[in-house]
Amino acid sequence: MTLIPVLCPYCGAGCRLGLQVEDGRAVGVEYLTDHPVALGALCPKGNVAHEVIHHPDRLEHPLVRENGRFREADWEEALGLVAYNLSRIRQEHGPDALGFLASAKATNEENYFFQKLARLLGTNNVDHCARLCHAPSVMGLRRALGSGAMTNPIPDLAHSRCILVIGSNFAENHPVVARWVWEAKDRGATFIVADPRHTPTARMANLYLPLRPGTDVAFLNGMAAVILREGLADYDFIAARTEGFEELRAALADFTPERAAEITGLAPSDILRAARVYVRSPASAIVYCMGVTQHTVGTDNVLACANLALLCGQVGRPGAGLFPLRGQNNVQGASDMGALAELLPGYVPVADDEGRRRLARLWGREDLPAFSGLSVVELMDAALEGRVRALYVMGENPVVSDPAAGETVRALENLEFLVVQDLFLTETARLAHVALPAACWAEKSGSYTNTERRVQWSPKAVEPPGQARPDLSIIGELGRRLGLWERAPGPEEVLAEINRAIPAYGGITPERLQATPEGVFWPCPDPAHPGTPILHRERFTTPSGRGRFHPVAYQPPPETPDAHYPLWMTTGRVVIHYNSGSMSLRLSELAAYAPEVWVTVHPEDARRLGVQDGEMVRVRSRRGDVEARVQVSDQVQPGLVFLPFHFPGVNVLTLKELDREARVPSYKVASCALERTEEG
């Protein structure tokens, strides 16, 4: 038996595991105790990661829809159909009639080449699921600090003396993070959690703050106002390293803890305590996730986090910084590679003439399209309206993951041509005209960038099943057929091009990654550079080199409970399942713990509604309904219900309203009603 160290295919922590391979098959997993983040630990999903590889549901042959049903085809026919239809629709309706969805599960090389394919075809209509989770981090942190990424490594949390967690349940969703927080607590750190739900993470807290859904800006502004009023800000840091402070001070002059408490539902004394502990700690960290970003004010929420860190000088040092936790194994890398409608590789805005033309020259073109493309949600709206006529989906399942998902189904059904490239015949792939079988994470080589900016290489361990191919191989051959390049390159060759395309990856070469199991942190501009575990030590990466304050005001959620929909509703992850469930729901070891969708209801609401634990109910919103089994628990506040979003149908309930800048939809706050079903 051979042990091959590969990267876990699930969350953004970037854990490495030992894949046991015997006679060409993955038969188990071993812990690798030398990994700097996980130290050998794996979550429940990582422990059974090998079960996905040889799953009987895997797609093994290209499928072509004929007379309403799929039939098997060979690659020659399947890719011929894809190339023909993309070319035809581009010629008849223009390049912006094409849309492309990249994948946070694919390698850096695959995402880079995928977005390159879209742009060489003449459109910026290329996006991926970062739009549905951490686009506000990309936009907000770039505006405030110059870089839209985590400032410090995960193990650096052990050096924090105050850890403020807002909108993250990492004890379930990024379990390896909890190890470093416990270590910090053992060293005397104060752990503060602000969350509408009393999650397993909140149970670790020294101070738990059950704020109302959608009131994050009011809470963070309340903390900042306390710090200003009591003269506790780090004025030396502010003078030396920031700009825009007077605008922030003016914006918060009349904002009091009492006003923050009125909006958030918290006690003023708790807001005071949180502010004083955070500012007085020698090293304070802010950890956040989708509870902060998935709002119509997601960018404002991120800016409020950055304001607090800059105000207190809590950035650019060990244990002090901003820690946005990414949800998928390569959502950071896919963003870095330019799989975003308004940003090219290396976060070059498409409207930046010099940066855009530099990349165009690298790709053998005079120029590239200069206007922002359509985001994930906007692509579906355009498909409904007939403006987008063909969509190429690589490794994503928007039928389950999109907001107001019923409209997504109608949008996909309205397309002239849909091609889906995936491991399984997902809910989205079932609607395709052509479904292409992709190799999984263990069946290909390539690099991934985890939530800390740590770039790691994962080698091929086993052969893909049947005729399945790596995404890069499929994209490469399709581009050759479309006349975009002469041949399909390998991952090392593409990474070498990435070294030239993205300055922050300049020194992260294939040879270096393959010789450095622990990975390399970007920015790493040249092969002699050691990498940058902690950002902003001496200067920020803004044009001025200074951090920038951005005052933001509280705005109420776009939808609130009323007589017809009297409950708040929020959604989130759970420890057993992953993303749209296309992998985890197929694994009996995981599904046994959570086989069906449930709704968590507070005991007071359960009594008032006449429902009991274990009963079936129908959860209704203005957009649709889903049946769910009741879980009565005081983990939620009275008036609030929670549903895990991994199950088909849950996102039918959610809102499509978008953040004005990041264009992320509002998953975290909506209103709903519960009613008993006949089964209930």
Whether 135-324 and 2-52 are alike in CATH topology: the answer is no
Task: List, in sequence order, the alpha helices (H) in 571-652.
Answer: 588-591, 603-609
Residue 592, pLDDT score: 77
Residue 484 pLDDT greater than 60, yes or no: yes
- Reported as a single tens digit per residue, the pLDDT across 211-239 is 999 999 999 999 999 999 999 999 999 99
**Predicted confidence band at 610 (pLDDT cuts at 50, 70, 90)?**
very high
φ, ψ at 359 (rounded to 5°)? -70, -40
Q: Are 180 and 158 in contact (CB under 8 A)?
A: yes
Is the per-residue pLDDT at 680 higher than 60? no
pLDDT at 459 over 60: yes
Query: What is 2-52's CATH number, 2.20.25.90, 3.40.50.720, 3.40.190.10, 3.40.80.10?
Result: 2.20.25.90
Which class does domain 63-132+329-493 fall in? alpha beta
Cα dihedral sign, 301-306-311-313? positive
Please give the CATH architecture assigned to the domain spanning 135-324: 3-Layer(aba) Sandwich (3.40)
Q: Which pair of structure tokens corresponds to residue 279?
A: 């500012």
Average pLDDT over residues 146-153: 95
> Residues 321-342: pLDDT tens digits?
999 998 788 999 999 999 999 9
**Which pLDDT score, from 0 to 100, does residue 578 have?**
64
Mean pLDDT over all residues of the chain? 93
Pairing of strands 434-437, 417-422: parallel
Contacts of 445 (CB under 8 A, 6+ apart): 457, 458, 459, 460, 491, 492
Question: What are the Cα distances from residue 679, in Å, to 125, 615, 644?
Answer: 45, 8, 21
Cβ–Cβ < 8 Å for 79, 478: yes
Give the pLDDT band (50/70/90) at residue 480.
very high
Q: What's the pLDDT at 10?
A: 87
Provide the 8-state DSSP code for 314. -
Closest CA to 569 of 680, 674, 676: 674
Residue 248 — very low, low, confident or very high, per pLDDT cuts 50/70/90? very high
Give residue 230's Cα distance to chain centre: 37
Domain ranges of the chain: 2-52, 63-132+329-493, 135-324, 567-676
Starting at the edge strand that comes first in sequence, how are the strands of the sheet with 390-394 ordered? 69-72, 63-66, 434-437, 417-422, 390-394, 98-101, 126-127
pLDDT class for 244, splitting at 50, 70, 90? very high
Question: Tokens representing 227?
Answer: 């710090």
Answer yes or no: is pLDDT of 445 > 70: yes
E runs forming strands in 195-320 = 207-209, 242-243, 284-288
Per-residue pLDDT of 566-600, as tens digits, reads 999 999 877 667 666 667 677 777 777 777 888 99
Sequence-separated (6 or more) residues with CB below 8 Å from residue 432: 63, 65, 393, 418, 419, 420
Rounded CA-CA distance 294/419 in Å is 28
- Cα dihedral: 473, 478, 480, 482 (round 10): -170
pLDDT at 296 exceeding the cut of 60: yes
Q: Is 451's pLDDT higher than 90?
A: yes
Sign of CA dihedral 529, 330, 10, 169: positive
Please state which architecture CATH assigns to domain 567-676. Answer: Beta Barrel (2.40)
Question: Which pair of structure tokens corresponds to residue 494?
Answer: 């593409």
